[in-house]
Amino acid sequence: MHLHRSAPESASPATVTPRVRASWRRSARYGLTAEEMRPVFTGSVDTGSLLYECGTAVLRGLQATLANEPVSMMITDPEGLVLSRICEDGTINRSLDRVHLAPGFYFAEENAGTNGLGLALADRAPSLVKAEEHYCAGLRGYTCAAAPVLDPVSGGVAGSVNLTTWSDSASELLLALAQSAAGNTTALMLARGAGRSAQPMPRGEVFRVYADRMRAPEASVLTPGWRNVFAEARSEFRAGRAVAVVGEPGVGKTALASLARRQLRRERVLSVRPPAPDDVEAWLELWTPELGKDSTCVIISGVDRLPAWATGELAERLGEVRARDGMQPYVLTAESAEDMPEELRRLVDTVAEVPALRFRPDDVQPLARHFARQRRRRDVGFSTSAIRTLTSYDWPDNVRQLRQVVREAAGRTDLIDLNHLPPEVFTGPGRPLTRLEAVERDEIIRCLTEPGTTVGEAARELGVSRATIYRKMSQYRITVPGRAPRT
């Protein structure tokens, strides 16, 4: 198998995993050599973050079990910046200082080539890099095991746990320890971060949508905020160009791309979501054979969340299809063009951006009526107060959140009023609430949204004074039509 000439000479290709080999190729593209690393120093490290607090606490607990072992334990941020390093072995500490694997230095792949924490962050997966598998010679005296720390709320990568020891030390348990520490850090972040629910991990689903089973898009779907970007995407598809649709999570990127494609051609659409890191190989084999088939378009969602080695594999397969097909049979989606991996960005001719729902208040009412009609298969009414509440809310999770709220409400009534809406839509942006605070807020909103209930009646039902209700409304940023908090 051919390797880039700058790859480590002493590592046998037969014993190197595809992920490490892909990392070598990336390291070469970054302009690194075996003799040169470029760890960048920053004068500021965020020691007040929840990641730093929880990660350091977990590693100090682990240190007690590894007191006599030459293992250096580190927490990094998602960019590879080393935030903390815990180790009582002076010899390995001094050695790591010489290669700049220390707090305040960036140690991502682009800075230090193939290494454990850089690979864990790039691929969003636990990684073990031993001795000669390191791209740069200065790191080949070490073995590094690292695992990404997942944000318990967003599910994204918050940073990593890295354990480094000498290359001739036993490393069998090192990766398991790193994974355990990363998992414990996520759990501690959830416990200390107001108890919010964790997001589900990616599963890599592949959905099929057949054009002949879909009706033409309804006018209510093509809301004012969508029309310009929809027309732009459809024009680019008609011209045979490869399109990326970008925007915040939940704005409807996949839906827009699918509707625009189906207006042009009666084709099958495959919607592909990012997989868990361990499932990348099976995920690619599942759907990439469909690329380039007649009357088939693949929408690959969230390419900015793909592991780095999967990005390279995907870019190669899309490049082959692009070279032979006239009309590009794929669409990519991401949060922004800047977040798209460069290998995939080169395979896109134009970028269409879908604005967030908070910038499209005129879209909220027609979308809400559309989702309610989908749920009940007939028109559902909305009170004036309900429409006012839905329109004034910021919708941090965008159209996806609006659809869930409306469908749940429409499932219970033919006329949606304030008391059918969840507490979240009456609450302005602010700090995360503890579970006790959230229960208190929800009870206040439940009372205030009962038809005909006054603030005084809500106060009596809750056993508190009117002044307390007004103070709590201000504290929790509660806005209920007709129940304005006192200032």
**Rounded to an integer, what distance in angstroms lies between the CA atom of residue 186 and that of residue 4?**
37
Residue 200 lies in a domain: no
Is 486 domain-assigned? no
204: left (phi over 0), alpha (psi -120 to 50) or beta: left
CA 239 vs CA 112, 324, 328: distances in Å: 42, 16, 10
User: Residue 231: inside a domain, yes or no?
Assistant: yes
Asked whether 178 and 208 are in contact (CB, 8 A), the reply is: no
151 plus 53 within the same structural domain: yes
Name the β-bridge partners of 150.
Answer: 157
Tens of pLDDT, residues 241-274: 899 999 999 888 988 888 888 777 767 788 888 8
Q: What span, in angstroms and rounded, lies between the C-alpha atoms of 292 and 251?
A: 28
Q: Is the pLDDT of residue 192 over 90?
A: no
340 shares its domain with 219? yes
Q: In whole angstroms, how far apart are CA 25 and each of 2, 302, 482?
A: 11, 23, 62
Q: Give the type of residue at 220.
A: S
Domain end (from 301, 336, 355): 355
> What is the CATH number for 34?
3.30.450.40
Q: Is 187 found in the same domain as 58?
A: yes
Domain ranges, residue 235: 206-355
Residues 6+ apart with CB under 8 A from 469: 444, 455, 458, 459, 462
At 145, list the tokens: 């095991």
On whether both 158 and 221 belong to a single domain, the answer is: no
Q: What is the pLDDT of residue 95?
A: 94
Does one domain contain both 366 and 453? yes
CATH number of 216's domain: 3.40.50.300
The torsion region of residue 221 among left (phi > 0), alpha (psi -120 to 50) and beta comes to alpha
247 — alpha (psi -120 to 50), left (phi > 0) or beta?
left
Burial class of 274 by CB neighbour count within 10 A (0 to 12, 13 to 18, 19+): buried
Q: Please indicate, yes or no, if residue 159 is contained in any of the structural domains.
A: yes
Structure confidence by residue, pLDDT tens digits, 299-308? 999 999 888 8
Query: Does position 2 have pLDDT exceeding 80, yes or no?
Result: no
Domain count, the chain: 3
Which phi and psi (to 5°) does residue 368 adopt? -60, -45
Residues 183 and 130 occupy one common structural domain: yes
**373 and 243 both lie in a single domain:** no
Question: Is 159 in contact with 77 (CB distance < 8 Å)?
Answer: yes
Would 2 be classed as within a structural domain? Answer: no
Whether residues 351 and 227 share a domain: the answer is yes
Q: Which of 143, 170, 192 represents a domain boundary (last residue)?
A: 192
pTM attached to this predicted model: 0.66
The answer to whether residues 304 and 232 belong to one domain is: yes
Looking at the domain assignment, is residue 4 inside a domain?
A: no
Q: Which of 135-144, 175-184, 288-297, 371-380 has the lowest average pLDDT? A: 288-297
- Please check whether residue 295 lies inside any domain of the structure: yes
Same domain for 235 and 371, yes or no, is no
pLDDT at position 214, please?
38
Domain end residue (candidates: 337, 355, 373) = 355
Query: Is 345 part of a structural domain of the chain?
Result: yes
Q: Name the pLDDT band for 213 (thresholds 50, 70, 90).
A: very low
